[in-house]
Amino acid sequence: MKPNWTGVYPAVTSNFFQDQSLDFETFETNIEKQIEAGVHGIIVCGSLGEAGTLSKDEKFALLASAKKVINGRVPLIMTVAECVTSEAISFVKNSEKEGANGLMMLPPMRYASDDRETLHYLHKVADATDLPVMAYNNPVAYKTFISIDMFKDLAQNQHFESMKESTGDIRYMTDVINEFGGRFKILSGVDDLAFESLVMGADGWVAGLVCGFPRETVVIYELVKQGRIQEAREIYRWFFPLLHLDIGNKFVQNIKLAEVGAGMGTEMVREPRLPLIGEEREKVLAVIEKALKSRPVLPQI
């Protein structure tokens, strides 16, 4: 199923048992609940999450698990976050072979490549398969900025259909739209800027707290696209303290606690991450519990 890069695309968590092995049952249950809530695609092995703790075999095991439960109902996107170009090429070829429908691709990891190097990498890896690509622009986390001039270059390559916009600067998205029109689909990649991005013309939302609150996320997206801005804004304001949990070094632990609160997961993480404890944990739980107690009645969409 070819992605059209519109709507809500959860970057689902990877799930573990206490012994650090993969918990496929919880992983598949969460994906099923995402689809039941109306999401438009699924992204696995997200780069800022726990993908860096996974072996390549584990990543492909998760891809296979997701493919099984999705069963062709929505597009399945694999994240490409590699350090070496040759390894990235091998990875995307295997992703295509194992059933991915598209790729979310980052610039080279660890090394902060310059513009020439970044473009060379992105083109070379994208051209290794027939899969469509969403270029992930997150200079805050990865220190590599894909500028408008660089997107002009990527626009010549038909593999690049979309961008995940995570610069944190809402103004940049309007510059991109003014420059490219509809050449690239734009998906907001910052949870607590998503409503603003959608109002300003984003086509979708690569979401994090959706992992615990999928229906609210989908309803906000649908209401904005229907022009029902006031209704969407009210739900977003309720959601906002939760969405802040997607920001910061321990966002994975935060999201997994939200999954627990919503009955959609466990809080087990893979070391070196550890579950939250003490005052830090209590503060996150307080945000989640307050949201659950005031959870809004969602309108028909």
| Residue pLDDT, tens place only, 37-76 | 999 999 999 988 899 999 999 999 999 999 999 999 999 9
Cα distance between residue 293 and residue 301, in whole Å: 23
- Output Rg (C-alpha) for the chain, integer angstroms: 18
Contact criterion met (CB below 8 Å) for 208 and 30:
no
CATH number for the domain whose boundaries are 7-293: 3.20.20.70
Give the residue extent of every domain in the chain: 7-293
Axis crossing angle, helix 24-37 with helix 56-70, rounded to the nearest 10: 40
Positions of the chain with pLDDT under 50: none
Distances (CA, A) of 251 to 192, 273, 280: 13, 11, 12
pLDDT recorded at residue 142? 83
pLDDT recorded at residue 143? 86
Contact criterion met (CB below 8 Å) for 95 and 50:
no
Summarize pLDDT for 70-101 with one digit per residue, the tens.
999 999 999 999 999 999 999 999 999 999 99
pLDDT recorded at residue 141? 84
Distances (CA, A) of 147 to 135, 154, 175, 208: 12, 10, 11, 25
Type and span of the H or E element at 55: none
Measured at the CA of 225, the angle between CA 219 and CA 229, to 5 degrees, comes to 75
Residues in the chain: 301
pLDDT recorded at residue 90? 98
pLDDT recorded at residue 48? 80
Distances (CA, A) of 262 to 2, 33, 162, 213, 218: 31, 11, 31, 7, 16
Question: Any bridge partners for residue 165, and if so which?
Answer: 137, 188
Contact criterion met (CB below 8 Å) for 11 and 47:
no
pLDDT recorded at residue 204? 98
